[in-house]
Structure 1
Amino acid sequence: MNRKRLRPLAALLPLILLAVAVGGFFLLPRDSYRALQGLKGPLEEGLPAPAASPLTAWKEFGKGGPSRMAVYLTDPNSAWTGVQHALETMGIPYIITDDPAVAVQHRVVLVYPMISGKLLDREKQETLRKHVADGGCLLATQVLGTDLKDLFGYTDVQESRSHYEVKLSPDHADTNWLKDERERTVRLGNPERPQSWTGTQNYSGAAQVLATFQDGQAAWIAKEHPGGGLAMALGFDLGFFILKCQNDRDDEASRAYVNEYEPTVDVWLRLLRHFYQKHEPLAVTVHTVPEGKSISAVISLDIDYVKSMANMTAYRDLLVKNEVPATFFIQAKYYRDYFDTGFFNDDTVGLLRSLHESGMEIASHSVAHTDVFASLPLGDGREKYPDYQPRVKGKGDTRNATVMGELRVSKYLLESITGAHVRSFRPGYLACPPSLAQAMEASGYHYTSSVTSGNVMTYLPYRKNYNHEYTASTNVFEFPAAVEDEHLPLMDQRVEGAMKLAGQLAQYGGCFVVLSHPDVIGHKHRFLQLILPRLKPMAWIGTIGQLGDWWSAREQLEIDVTRREAGQVQLSITAPTAIKGITLYVPPAWKPSASSPLPSGATLEGGSLFLPEVPQGALSITLQEKEN
């Protein structure tokens, strides 16, 4: 080999490589972003407002008639918003008060968070005694000491941190209607992580035991009194536990992350409704699903990959054919990085607009879709396009990104390009920073689907709490994902399992949210082809935004019931926002009144009062409680 001849070639190699690179730059197809030229925004600036004080915020919920459940708040410095979430979710009318004399004007009273000699003096204790003696129903969490042991029917109480599971009695009349094994045995913590176990109380010598901890100690007890009164004690902080799950802080206590039935939180919510309906003669509750259907179903598709953009039309066409609107969470990616090319460009603008025009919801899936979104800084609330330029450099390495920037800039670009009103957000990797709820609220979002139902152990929507903490709620609603596409087997082999889950949720009006990525058309497309016709007879199907609007209006409803002469009852409904397709559960014996017809289109059958529309303002309905 002649090394002297190779030396000039070696010297020219850098120039040759540079020429190839320049040629490729000009000759190969490149992403074009002309559609984004001239855009600059959002111009509005703002950071999240401070959280409301838990010591005073409860006073907002102090008004309502005696047909409501009363929450007697013995300590406002507690996780009372967890109880509030439960009652709102189950459509149970309620008031919150710190005055036992006010609470006992209501037949059903929930005492929260604790009964102890330190929190309740003798006079307050006697008020509760008299309520039960007069036939009232009392459910208390964390009953300590012996002052009221005769009222609740125990001889001794012990505190512990050794419990992670509760087993409901298969024989007691108030729990035997729960048939599924995962309903009869529910989690409090992760069995393999004792540090996740919360404080509990177990009771000795109980008159009735409705549930035990995993070691056989009594967790939930009851005592019936002459005159129909009932006193029950639950041996853990129910509000704290609900929020621990909803805030995804339960150290993986669930038995299934996704695609399976894990109803722990929902069991307690259903039991609250059961006792209210059983012990309040004028109980009226609001069904959890629009239009009287058995479940709410949402198809959601995450667009976070260049091929997913191209595949969107096949999914859109299938959804349109089935007359089903869906939510498309779009990553507004306007640059190339470690993961992928910039697919939010001139080639995809038309696709996005066609989605919106065909009735699909355009929602945000962030800008960077970073795997470290949960640990990003909040930002300053002034982030705007084109100055906001985050970059994912590799796994675990994202630069120049903020929570506010991901929310603000993606929303601005999606709205500017499509003309849609973007109200829903899902983070990439379902990675949720503590600031997410209040940051969404500050950025103009209302709804999210950022956790899996199995992980938070509920299939019902709920309000997100400020900072994933236990004191203050936001106005952002969470719609957990029940089914996703990334676990095996492939989706078209999971149709029967998904329908089984849908049937389990239909028992109590659960929410069946499907999370899928249209990176391929095959098995994921076939899953929708197969399951949509089977869901339709039982499910209301719509977008996150549509369900969110309905749910938000539902939670604003104020319902009171009063008795009138001649065996009649009057339902007084106040709706700050008009709402369609509401079902009210009323006592099965109630009938339409002969002297006062139901509203137009309304029906009453078997304890279900369906109202096709509740207009904004006040609505009064008269029903017959009993024959004259």
Structure 2
Amino acid sequence: GSNDTRQAITIKSTSNNGQACAIGFDVGAYVGQSNGGKTGGIPRAYVATYDPGYDNIFRMIKTLYSQSTTTGLVTSWPVPGNKGVHFAWTYDIDAQDSYVLAYECAKDLQSRGMKGTINWQTKLVKDAYDVAFFSEFYRNISLVEALGNMELASHSVSHSPNLEQFAVGTGKEIWDGTKYQEDNYFPFIGECMNATSGVWTTSIPNATTCETPNDILYFFTLGGSILGEARVSKYILEAISIVSAKVQSFRTGHLLYPDTLPQILVATGYKYSSSGASNDRNSHMPYQAFYNQAYNQEVDLLEFPLSASDEDGQINGDFYAPGTGGYTDGSYAWQQYQVVQKVAKYGGQYTFLIHPTSHIIPDVVQTLFSDKLAFQQTLAPLVANISYFDTMSGRGDFHNARIASGIDVAVFGNVVTVTITLTKPIVDLTLRVPTAWAFMSSTVGVQATSGAVTLLNTAPAGTVTLNFQTSGTVTATTNPAPGAPTTTSTISMATPTIPAPTPTPSSPRVVDDFSDPSRYSSEQNALGFYVGDDGTAASRISVQADWLLLNVNNNTYWYSNLGPANTCNDYSSFTKLSLAIRYPTTKRIGFSVVIQDTETTACTGLIQHSFDVTALINSATAGSDGWFHLDIPLTNFNGTDLTRMRAVALTSFASACQVEVDYIYFS
């Protein structure tokens, strides 16, 4: 009611399509504190799971805007190429064997046509942590650079566990290879073994205490500064690059995040960071960092928070749903596949970290590198159809260009002209538009699909014009149309048409939307009737994340009843069957859809009417989220009596695989 003060958000619509929204908490403070890692206790997990945080608030505001203004009908999608996730494989090189194994990770990505970012620790001194592996193995960086698909990025000099206690530094820190300690940036990590006496086990000049009276085993760095970690590592990496790379991305050791880090990275020439964690920062989107991690002054640094790493689960190449393969909660690859799918619903970023090493240090569970590579080889193809794989800098450049762009919408009767103003070049920018708009023309090469238009390749700075038709016929006298495009599209596209209206019932009949796992566990579909597979899927069926997961083979016969048994169920008012299917572990696989009717007017006996959808699947284009949306005219099920319907079934899969089903309905 009007006196109810418990509502966090209230929305009131006006007669002219406007909407007023009152939010009962400080969104800016929540976002700012989240970006600065100052909301301890709010996130339910650090990484490796999905907690949307303030993303949901921004999505709500975006929806309100798009429903209230003509301009809001057109929005720029946060991921290039109309994909669901801006995905980055990242690798932290902070152990001696990592310098060799990094090449194996990069080579595997190259074979898949994928990119990634490698963060190299430039360790220059042997200490309690490790040998001076940069000095010994730096030539391996050249081997990786020669592959051509990996970004060169920094992972600091010392990988210090006490980075947050470092002084800012002088800004004069250098490394001169002709010298050793004198006049050089020389962070040295010692190991404290005795908490009582505070004796160092390694000889460090001027070190007399462990500075850690409560820990039995502890590493501590002397002689470090935050400016030195950023400045020196960048200088060294750029100096040895065989492709004259500019180091623009940084990740701290241990994901530590000193408050002064944002402005120090900007001051030393970095543009992008991935040192925060997605759930901890309450967002799966990139964000602009703040000075001192407060929230009153932005700095020119984009943070891409880490989504998950090889230290957050039992990493291997297994892909099993919960309750199968010996995994109560599902294998780690399965879990991360679910996270990627959820982020893909609104176009977020996903950043995975792999340490290419089998090395073990205290408090970290040892994992073989072969298991980590197997995980990459399992997850990469699973998410390939919904992901745009990029480097850290590639993602940052896209995001900066996107948020600096502008969109204007002008309506001329039934023609809509959209003008995009680009202040920077941008790759594969996608505009989301109402699905009722039919694409007409563009001043640059585009790819047009229902509800989306992608500017192909790199669009230069300047303006781009897109024209759409909403419905009906446009005449010059009453609906002045914009001028013809100056550049013909570089791809061939069928001329969009507005389909004639088809008589349909007032509402579809949903057989199942798989939104209720408990209902499905009771063997009931959305109509309240029996669903099952009679053991042909070996009971490996479950509802996960609002869709059905099936482990199928050529003998699988999964079916869902359309009404009570021994009853003639009348579906004669419907003309088509629609379903959505996705393949999480394989390429598209053909199968058949079966409709059952009855032999007699007494509604007894069953007749199978099968339609092979293989050709339909092979010609279909998956959406950015990987789903194939199939519409099958009921006339394809030859001889079916729509007044005596019994069930719909999925069967005759071409090979054993996993499939997901999002919905089945008649309309």
Aligned in 2, Cα 1:227/1:280: closer, same or farther, shift over 3 Å?
A: closer
Structure 2 distance, partners of 1:469, 1:491, is 39
| Alpha-carbon distance in structure 2 between the residues aligned to 1:353 and 1:442 | 27
Tell me the residue number matched to 1:243.
Answer: 32
- Does 1:271 find its partner at 2:60? yes
In structure 2, what is the Cα distance between the partners aligned to 1:357 and 1:260? 35
Report what 2:248 is aligned to.
423
Q: Structure 1: how far apart are the matches of 2:153 and 2:16?
A: 55
Matches within 5 A, 1:317-466: 317-345=107-135, 347-359=136-148, 360-386=150-176, 387-394=184-191, 395=218, 397-418=220-241, 419-466=244-291
Q: Which amino acid aligns with 1:571?
A: V
CA contact (8 A) 1:355 1:362 kept: no
Q: Distance in 1 between matches of 2:145 and 2:43?
A: 37
- 2:374 aligned counterpart, secondary structure: helix
State how far apart, in whole Å, the 1-side matches of 2:151 and 2:126 are.
Answer: 26
Aligned-residue offset at 1:271: 0.9
The residue that corresponds to 2:22 in the other structure is 233
Higher RCO structure, 1 or 2 (CA under 8 Å, sep 6+) = 1
State the SS of the aligned residue for 1:327.
strand
Query: Which residue matches 2:336?
Result: 498
Letter paired with 1:365: H
- The 5-angstrom pairing of residues 3-42 of structure 1 reads none
Deviation at 1:610, TM superposition (A): 1.5
5 Å matches for 1:289-304? Answer: 289-304=79-94
CA contact (8 A) 2:19 2:64 kept: no
The answer to whether the Cα contact below 8 Å between 1:260 and 1:501 also exists between their aligned partners in 2 is yes
Q: Which runs of 5+ in 1 are unaligned?
A: 1-152, 156-202, 205-216
In structure 1, the partner of 2:568 is none
Structure 1 position 288, deviation (Å): 0.8
| Letter of the structure 2 residue corresponding to residue 504 of structure 1 | K
CA-to-partner distance for each residue in 1:161-186, whole Å, 9 max, x for gaps?
Answer: xxxxxxxxxxxxxxxxxxxxxxxxxx
Structure 2: distance between partners of 1:309 and 1:353: 11
The 5 Å alignment of 1:18-167 reads 154-155=2-3
How many residue pairs match? The answer is 412
Cα distance in 1 for residues equivalent to 2:111 and 2:20: 55
Q: Which residue in the other structure is 2:618 paired with?
A: none
Q: Quick check: 1:587–1:607 contact (8 Å CA) kept in 2?
A: yes
* Deviation string, structure 1 residues 480-532 (Cα, Å, up to 9, x no partner): 11111113323434111111111111111111110111112221111011111
Per-residue CA deviations over 1:116-167 (Å, capped at 9, x if unaligned) read: xxxxxxxxxxxxxxxxxxxxxxxxxxxxxxxxxxxxx733xxxxxxxxxxxx
Q: Pick from 252, 256, 259: which aligns with 2:48?
A: 259
Partner of 2:125: helix, strand, or coil?
A: coil
Answer yes or no: is the 8 Å Cα contact 1:591–1:604 preserved in 2: no
* Structure 2 stretches lacking a partner, 5+ long: 177-183, 192-217, 318-330, 359-368, 475-667
- Alignment map for 1:614-625 (pairs within 5 Å): 614-625=459-470
Cα separation, 2, equivalents of 1:288 and 1:222 = 26
What is the CA deviation profile of residues 318-361 of structure 1, one whole-angstrom value per residue up to 9, with x for unaligned ones?
A: 2222222211110000111121110011x412211111121211
**What residue in structure 1 maps to residue 449 of structure 2?**
605
Question: Partners of 1:486 and 1:625 in 2: how far apart?
Answer: 51
Pairing 1:574–2:430 present: no
Task: Check whether the contact 2:315–2:333 (CA below 8 A) recurs between aligned residues.
Answer: no
- State the secondary structure of the residue aligned to 1:306: coil
| 2:31 maps to 1:220 | no
| 1:539 aligned partner | 387
Specify whether residues 426 and 589 from structure 1 end up closer, same or farther in structure 2 by C-alpha distance, changes over 3 A only.
same
Residues 64-108 of structure 1 show CA distances to partners (whole Å, capped at 9, x for unaligned) of xxxxxxxxxxxxxxxxxxxxxxxxxxxxxxxxxxxxxxxxxxxxx
Higher normalized helix content (fraction of residues): 1
Question: Match for residue 167 of structure 1?
Answer: none
State, as a whole percentage, how many aligned pairs show the same letter.
Answer: 30
Encode CA deviations 1:519-566: one digit per residue, 9 max, x unaligned.
122211110111111121111112111111111211211222233x34
Q: Corresponding residue for 1:488?
A: 313
Q: Residue 247 of structure 1 contacts residue 469 of structure 1 at CA under 8 Å; is this kept in 2?
A: yes
Equivalent residue letter for 1:267: N
Deviation, 1:289, is 0.7
Is the CA contact (8 Å cut-off) linking 2:51 and 2:282 kept in structure 1? yes
8 Å Cα contact 2:119-2:155 kept in structure 1: yes
Instruction: State the 1:382 CA deviation.
Output: 1.4
> Contact conserved, 2:91 with 2:353, CA < 8 A, in 1?
yes
Q: 1:376 to 1:252 in 2, by over 3 A?
A: farther
Change (3 A) 1:605 1:522: closer
Distance 1:290 1:380 in 2: 40
Call closer, same or farther: CA 1:600–1:392 in 2, change over 3 Å: same
What is the rounded CA distance, in whole Å, between the counterparts of 1:329 and 1:390 in structure 2? 19
Kept after mapping to 2: 8 A contact 1:570/1:621: yes
1:516 is the counterpart of 2:313: no
Give the SS at the match of 2:49. coil
**Contact between 1:461 and 1:511, CA under 8 Å: does it hold in 2?**
yes
How far apart are residue 226 of structure 1 and its match?
Answer: 4.2
Q: What amino acid is the match of 1:295?
A: V
Shift of 1:432: 0.8
SS in structure 1 at match of 2:66:
helix
Aligned pair 1:529/2:377, yes or no?
A: yes
Give the conservation status (yes or no) of the 8 Å contact 1:326–1:543. yes
- Corresponding residue of 2:198: none
Query: Cα distance, 1:453 vs. partner?
Result: 0.9
CA contact (8 A) 1:252 1:455 kept: no
Distance 2:13 2:249 in 1: 48
Q: Is the 8 A contact 2:442 2:464 kept in 1?
A: no
Letter in 2 for 1:389: F
Superposed CA RMSD in Å reads 1.8
- Measured in 1, the distance between the counterparts of 2:442 and 2:433 equals 14
Change (3 A) 1:227 1:374: same
Secondary structure, aligned partner of 2:300: strand
Normalising by the residue count of structure 1, what TM-score does the alignment of the two structures yield? 0.63
| Structure-1 separation of matches of 2:170 and 2:155 | 20
